[in-house]
Structures are given as structure tokens and as C-alpha cells.
Structure 1
Amino acid sequence: MAAGATTLLDQAVLNIAVPSMRQSLEASAADVQWIVAGYSLAFGLALVPGGSLGDVHGRKHLFIAGVSVFLLAGLVAATGGGPGTLIGARLVQGAAAGLVNSQVIGTIQDVFHGPDRGRALGLYAVTAGVATALGPPLGGALVAGLGPQTGWRCCLLLSAPCAVITLALAARWLPPPRRTAQNSRLDVLGLSLACGCTLTLMVPFIATPNSGEEALLWGAMLCALAAVFTVHQRLRVRRGRQPLVHPALTSSKQYVLGTAVAMAQFGSSLAASLLLTVFLQDGLGLSALLTAAVALPSAVAMGISSALAWRLVRRIGPRTVTVGLVLGIGATLAGAAVALSVPMAGLPMALAGTQLVAGAAGGLSVSPNQTQVLQHAPAEAAGVGGGILQMAQRIAAAVCVSAVSAVYLHAASGSPGGSDPRAAYALASCVSAGLLAVALVLSLLRRGATPRRPSAPVSAKRACAVSAPEEAT
């Protein structure tokens, strides 16, 4: 939990400090894009290799090494004097964070079983969600209290004490390294091809291609790498070797559809958060502190609803995710309506109300969905299964943030009569709601793909009813 809070808070807290950081460093728009999105790119690249290394060699030493590199790279980023230094440090920091988080998922899969695993994964999802939601309020407070020149540097230093505490806890409490993979040989070619696919998919959304031909070239490279990767994995199976992507993962409709649900939900959530920050600060000219105050109810609501989600899961099962997605679509569309209709004086309060509902919706959908997905990852591929899930979310974040931001910027600058940030925000919010609608459809398809089990005898039902309160505690 400490590792999740450390690495994810660091990313979220910087978003709201981007305007002051850009002014302080005199960075270009491309520099800022690499500083912000480069972290996610390196994070996503490291997840699957990190998970595979943990399955083969054990997780404790990799976890400690990742947190240590993360800490050192954070110190370099906070004291950097130019955009180049900051970009390099953030890339290293993102890779270290990906290595750490792949060990977190793998360790939970190794140590916990049955209902305990579900609760542990739920706590991890809650920690990640709350850390992500608390980032903007904390970043806004630091920038407002310390000034734009010092505030953004302190935002980058905020994770340093957390990293030190995490290292101390890990050295004492993490279980000794042990191999969980049946084959101790790494699929080096498979790892290289997987990283190449991730890179060619995410880079065009971070550094936008200059022409259609360049975009087609990136697409062709992605298709070629994906085809080679698929053939390579099938050849390893035929030769009796362990492939990078375990067959149990690709053959499970629940795992595949659940991962797709997580991609659409995570991408929509991250895009909506960044959209709100840009709209309030750049569009309406509000301060960083007021922007943070608008985003704070989302963090509070997500923490509370995540803690209570398991009671709802016990009552209605996988439909909890569906309920959360429907609630999220409603909250996002309500935000669009509020932006168009509420006067400026009451707009921050009204948007804070929609953020409250959106946070509650996220708590109901994120952790239950993640638990359902990882139930289908076998023990020998626990790290890779978790790494693929998180990597898919990072890819979705890069794609969705780029798409939603482009919709907002195009609508804000291209409206008749000049800039209209309210209409642009409403339109981009509808796009975010559309992404949640895709997640909702995929969630319903997953429920349809789940094999039905015969009803339990009456005595078993009574036993479940008696044991449920004990499991909840």
C-alpha cells in the first residue's frame, strides 16, 4: 500500500503544478508533454518486464531496488535546472515505479488467497485511487502556499519521505524472494517485443505525428511487432516453453474483457481529471488552490465508497462494477450540463458536487473490477498478469488523455466568436462519458461470458450468510 501511494501520488501531484513548472523552466509545450506523459510511458514499459522478472527471480530485491531508484530520480527531478534534466529524471522515475508496482500485484497474488486476496487487492486499488485523487489538492496547496517557483519542486519532493518509509517497511516485512514461475528462463525476445509494441503504441499519443504518413508508419510498425510477438509466443508454446503471456490469460474471456473494462474506465478517469484542471485554471483563470478544492471531494468520496464497495459486492456480486459505471456516466454528463448552465459564481461548488458523485462511482468500479480480473491469473504468472493489466491501463491513459485534450483544445479555440471554454469542457466531458459507456458495454459482455454455476444447497447458503459478516471485517 505504501508503494502504491508513493509512486501514484508523485504522478498525480504534478499535474496541477504544470503551469508554474513550465513558466519556471521556460519549457516548450513539447517539453511539458514529455515531462508529464513520459512518466506514464516509462511506467507502462516497465510493468510486464518487471512482473516477469519477479515471477522468475523473486520480488523483494526488485521491489527495494525500484523504490531506491525512484527516490534518487525524484531528487534529481526536483533539483533539475532545465527541461532536459527533468524529462530524463521523470523517465527513469516512471520505469522504477513500473518495476515496483508490478511487484506489488505479484506479492499480493503470492501471499493472499481466497477472500483475503480480494480484500488486499481492494485495499491496493483504494490506495491507488485515493492517492491519484489527492494529488491535485496537495499540489494546489503547495503551489499556492510556496509560490510558483518553489511549489512545483516541492510537489516532486513530496514522494521522497514516503519512499524512505516504504524502503524501511519493505526491508523488514516483505517475504523472502522466491520463484513462482515454473521455468526460470526469461523470455527475453518476448519481453523486447512487448516493450516495442507498448512504445510504438504510446509514443504517437505523446509526441503527435506531424503528418498522416508518419502516423501510418507508426501504425504499421505496431502491427508488425504485434504479429511477430504473437508468432513468437505460439512457437514457445509448441516447443514446451513458458511464453511471456501465460495461455490462461489469453484464453480467459473474463480476464480479457475485465482488462478492457479497466482500460476504458482508467483512461476516462485520468482524462477527466486533467480536463477539469485545464478547464478551471486555463479556461476560467481560477487559482491552483481553488482548483484543488474542487477536486478534493472526488478523493474523499472514492475512499469512502471503495471501503464500502465490498458490502455491495457481497449482495449483488459483479453487478457492482456495472452500478459504478452507470453512476460515473451520470456524474460526467452532469458535469457537462453544469458547465453550460450554472453561473460563474456557483460553478466551482456545482462542479465539486459532480466530482463527489464521480469519486463515489470510481470507488464502486475500480477495485471490484481489478479483483475480478486478477482472479483469473494463475500463480506462476501473477506478476505478468498484474503487469499486463496495469500496462493496458497506462496505454489507455495515454490514448484517452491525448484524445480528450485534443477535443477540448480544438473546441475552445475553434468556436465561432472566440474561445468558449465552457462549451469545450462540456463536449470533452461527453467524450469521457462515452469512454465509460464503452466500459459499461464491456462489463455487461463479461457478465454474459461468465459461466453460470448451479445454485447452492440451502445449508450452504445459510453458512455463507453466517460467515459473510466475519469476512467483511
Structure 2
Amino acid sequence: MIPGEDRAARRVLLVCLAAGATTLIDQAVLNIAVPSMRQSVAATGADVQWIVAGYSLAFGLALVPGGSLGDLHGRKRLFMAGVAVFLLAGVTAATGEGPGTLIGARLVQGAAAGLVNSQVIGTVQDVFHGPARGRALGLYAVTGGVATALGPPLGGALVAGLGPEAGWRCCLLLSSPCAVLTLVLAARWLPPPRRTARDSRLDVLGLTVLCGCTLTLMVPFIRTPDSGGEALLWSAAVCALGAVFAVHQRLRVRRGRQPLVHPAVTSSKPFVLGTAVAMAQFGSSLAAFLVLTVFLQDGLGLSALLTAAVSLPGAAGAGISSALAWRLVRRIGPRTVTVGLTLSIGAALSGATVALCVPTGVLPVALAGTQLMSGVAGGLTVAPNQTQVLQHAPTEAAGVSGGILQMAQRIAAAVCLSAVPAVYLHAASGSPGGGNPRAGYALASCVCAALLAVALLMSLLRRAGDPPRLRRRATPALLVPPSPKENA
């Protein structure tokens, strides 16, 4: 049941869920159409990197400024503007004839998606309180996870049914009807804009430095440095900008001004560790699917439709386990995230074993089984973890806190989408005699398993840091959906 004290609150949540699905399915559906798109517009490898990863870059850059602006000036107008720009940029990308147009349109679209999603998190925290907020945030996370999982099968079906040329363009247009519907519903159902931040002055310098730091951190993973010296310069720039940002925030606190990153966020161990869990899980899952797509199409020679069929069980597993995750949360509380991460590690290692040991004829079926396991694990992890993280966000910085969480995930995505496929390509083509795609996929899966092991460690540390009284409580209030009696 959709949470909320009245019909208006439920309508607001439906708008937020529609926005999350619209913006998150757009990136997922494109990955499987990349080979067709690259051939159609004569894009180089660097162009493809910018088309795919540039969306995440712009998305991440827009999140914290968008959340801060929403806290200061209200969210409805920013939400609608973001959806409108997202729609126009998507149409531009779908009708583009060259890689330059595609790159520019995807950067604008990513920035618009970041603006929209930062307003979604803030709106949910403004409208919902108590157990209803936890359930609403959980449904938002579930919607995003299911949309991300459904994107590849839909993309594969479009490419197979319409042909390579029209297929990848329709992949980019797939989110347009959803965007139009979201815009109409937002105009009718979102609450009027209201300011939630106590300090009405925007921290322009802090925003500029933070965006510069994020950009400096992500760009080297999209455009690989030509030398070790250049990589060292990028690293030094990140450290310098990070130090400037930290000093600036402390000075604002001493002067009695509201900092961009609220003290309650930076001092919250559950928020910091939960964000680390989200980063490792999000980055590894995106990278694992991209490697799977390349392995199936280039390594095994499967069509886009068969590749989509292999990934479909993962989407089904994610949807089912997401819907049932809250029952497990009622029983074991925050340990649900630990269970999901453990299953994710098992799925990644199973994929590596299958790639090395199973005959080629039945390999796609075996990989579909590992995808089912991975989808189930993701459904148990994403929504409960995001809910645990955001319950520690202060009300006056709800938008910024949500933006920080999602920005961290986008940084992880940029890093993992660059590093993990590079591991696969090196192992698949670097050995004498034409390389070994199976070994490359197995090695990349082991790298993803290692990232998930880091996430599992962070989850255990977060749990260990709770007071004994909280560890004995199986179901923290904000993690559990309302009971039928409460709904009544």
C-alpha cells in the first residue's frame, strides 16, 4: 500500500516515483544499444565514453546544487523545469546525427535528471514523516532499481524489433512519454513551493568548489589520462579542492552561517557508512551489467535481444525481492542490507565460476541464473540501505542530504564504469592468440565481488557502531512500513 496520511500525499509520492523511473530508466536502456549507436553515428571509443558516462557526470554535478536550491526556494518549479529540459534534451539526442550532438544532449539531460532527483528526495522528506517517510523512500529506491533492471530488456527488444538504426533512437525516446506524463501530474499534484532552509543565502563559493572537486574527480575516469604525471596532477587537484571545501565549510560554521554540507550529516556515522555502502553497490552493479553486455555481444556473439533475455531474470528478481524486502526488514531490521550484500557477492562469484566452467551452448542460461540471484540480492539491498541513510538527514537540509547520497553514487558509477570494463578488455584481448573473453568476464566479476565485500564490511561497521540497545531492536521505526492497523 502506498504510504501517506491523505490522498494528496499519495499523489505527491506517485509523481516522485514517476520522475525517478523516467530519469533512471533512460540511462539503463541505452547501454544495450551502444554498439548500434556507435556504428550509426561513427562515434569513437572516447565519444561513446562521454555519451554513456557523461550522463552520470552531469547528473552528479547537478545533485547538490539542485538540492540546495530546492531547500532555499522550494521544489515544484525546479522539479518541473528539470523534467521539461530532460524531455527536450532526450528528443535532441534521439534525432542527433553526430557524436557531438549526442554528447551535448546527454550532458544536458544528465544535469536535468540530477536537478529532478534532488527535488524528489527533498519532496518526500518534506511531505512524509515517521514510518511513512521510510516506506516512501523505500518505494522510491525500489522504483529506481526496477527501472534500472528493466532498461536493458526493453532496449534489447527495441533494437531487435526496429533494427539497429531506429532501435537506438527509440531507446533514447523511451522516457519521453513518461516525462510528459510526469510533467502533467507534477503541475496538478505537487505542493506549492516552500522554503525549508533556515538560511536564505546560497553558499555560492561552496557549491562552486564542490562542483569543481566532483568534476576533477570524475573526468579522469571518463577521459583516461595520457600519462602518470597527468594522473598525478588530477589527484593533486582533487585533494586541493577537497581541502578548500572543508576549510570553507568550517569557516561558515564559525561565522554562524549555514554550511552547504550540514554538520549533522558529516558527523553521522550511519550516514557516512551507509553512503559508502551505496557507492560500492551502485558502482559495482552498473559496471557488472556493462561488462555482461559486452561479453555476451562481443565475446559470445549474441544478439541484442538474446542479451536482453539473459538480463531479464535479474529485473524480475529485483522487482519481486524489492516488494518483499520489507517483510524481511520487519524480522531482522538493518541486517537485511547485510543479507543482500552477501547474496550479491555470491552472485558475482557464481558468474565468474560459470564463465570459466560452463560449456558455451548453455552459458547464456547459466548466466541468466546468476542474474536472477543478483537481482534478488539488489532488491534486498538498495531500498533498505537508502532508507537507513536518509533517515539521518536533517529536515532543513533534506534536499542537500539526498543530493550528497546520489552524487556519491554517481561518482562511484563513473569510476566503476571506467575501471571494471577496462579490466575485462585487458584480460579479454591482452593475451596471445586473440585473448580470452571468458577469463576477462570472470576477472571483472571478481573485481565486482571485491567491491561488494567492501560494502559488506561498511555495513557491518555501521551495525557494530550502534548502541547495544539499538542492535537488539530488530525493526527501527523508520525502516518498517506501517502495519495494517496503522494504515486503518
Task: Give TM-score scaled by structure 1 length.
Answer: 0.97
Q: How many residues align?
A: 467
Q: Does 1:322 align with 2:338?
A: yes
Residue 451 of structure 1, CA deviation = 2.2
Residue 344 of structure 1, CA deviation = 1.2
5+ residue gaps in structure 1?
Answer: none
CA distance in 1, matches of 2:207, 2:129: 28
CA distance in 2, matches of 1:468, 1:54: 32
Any idea what SS the aligned residue of 2:383 has?
A: helix
| 1:140–1:292 contact (8 Å) kept in structure 2 | yes
Match of 2:103 among 87, 110, 120: 87
CA distance in 2, matches of 1:455, 1:141: 46
Q: How does 1:146-157 map to 2 (within 5 A)?
A: 146-157=162-173
Q: 183-192 or 413-422: which moved more? A: 413-422
CA distance in 2, matches of 1:398, 1:312: 32
In structure 1, the residue matched to 2:216 is: 200
In structure 2, the residue matched to 1:274 is: 290
Task: Give TM-score scaled by structure 2 length.
Answer: 0.94
CA distance in 1, matches of 2:39, 2:483: 55
Q: Does 1:365 align with 2:388?
A: no
Q: Does 1:65 align with 2:81?
A: yes
In structure 2, the residue matched to 1:138 is: 154
Residue 453 of structure 1, CA deviation = 2.6
Q: Does 1:299 align with 2:315?
A: yes
| 1:264–1:436 contact (8 Å) kept in structure 2 | yes
Amino acid at match of 2:150: L
| 2:53–2:417 contact (8 Å) kept in structure 1 | no
CA distance in 1, matches of 2:174, 2:433: 43
- Across the aligned residues of Structure 1 and Structure 2, the Cα RMSD in angstroms comes to 1.7
Any idea what SS the aligned residue of 1:453 has?
A: helix
Q: Does 1:14 align with 2:33?
A: no
Q: Deviations over 1:265-313 (max 9, x none)?
A: 1111111111110100111110000000000111111111011111111
Residue 455 of structure 1, CA deviation = 9.8
Q: How does 1:416-435 map to 2 (within 5 A)?
A: 416-435=432-451
In structure 2, the residue matched to 1:77 is: 93
Any idea what SS the aligned residue of 2:199 has?
A: coil
Q: Does 1:32 align with 2:48?
A: yes
Residue 470 of structure 1, CA deviation = 3.8
CA distance in 1, matches of 2:465, 2:459: 10
In structure 1, the residue matched to 2:204 is: 188
Any idea what SS the aligned residue of 1:209 has?
A: coil
| 1:311–1:472 contact (8 Å) kept in structure 2 | no
In structure 1, the residue matched to 2:267 is: 251
In structure 1, the residue matched to 2:59 is: 43
Q: How does 1:96-111 map to 2 (within 5 A)?
A: 96-111=112-127
% identical equivalent positions: 82
| 1:332–1:432 contact (8 Å) kept in structure 2 | yes
Any idea what SS the aligned residue of 1:210 has?
A: coil
In the TM superposition, structure 1's runs of 4+ consecutive aligned residues that sit over 6 Å from their partners are 454-457
CA distance in 2, matches of 1:456, 1:334: 33
| 1:310–1:472 contact (8 Å) kept in structure 2 | no
Relative to structure 1, the CA distance from residue 472 to residue 257 in structure 2 (aligned partners, 3 Å threshold; closer, same or farther) is farther
In structure 2, the residue matched to 1:54 is: 70
Q: Does 1:229 align with 2:245?
A: yes
| 1:105–1:386 contact (8 Å) kept in structure 2 | yes
| 1:47–1:98 contact (8 Å) kept in structure 2 | yes
Q: Deviations over 1:91-129 (max 9, x none)?
A: 000000000000000001111111111111111111100
CA distance in 1, matches of 2:484, 2:446: 40
| 1:115–1:471 contact (8 Å) kept in structure 2 | no
Q: 411-420 or 329-338: which moved more? A: 411-420
Any idea what SS the aligned residue of 2:258 has?
A: coil
Q: How does 1:280-359 map to 2 (within 5 A)?
A: 280-359=296-375
Q: Deviations over 1:218-249 (max 9, x none)?
A: 01111110010000000000000000000000
Amino acid at match of 2:187: A
CA distance in 2, matches of 1:396, 1:246: 22
CA distance in 2, matches of 1:286, 1:22: 17
Amino acid at match of 2:213: C
CA distance in 1, matches of 2:162, 2:486: 46
CA distance in 2, matches of 1:125, 1:456: 26
Amino acid at match of 1:40: S
Amino acid at match of 2:320: I
Q: Does 1:413 align with 2:429?
A: yes
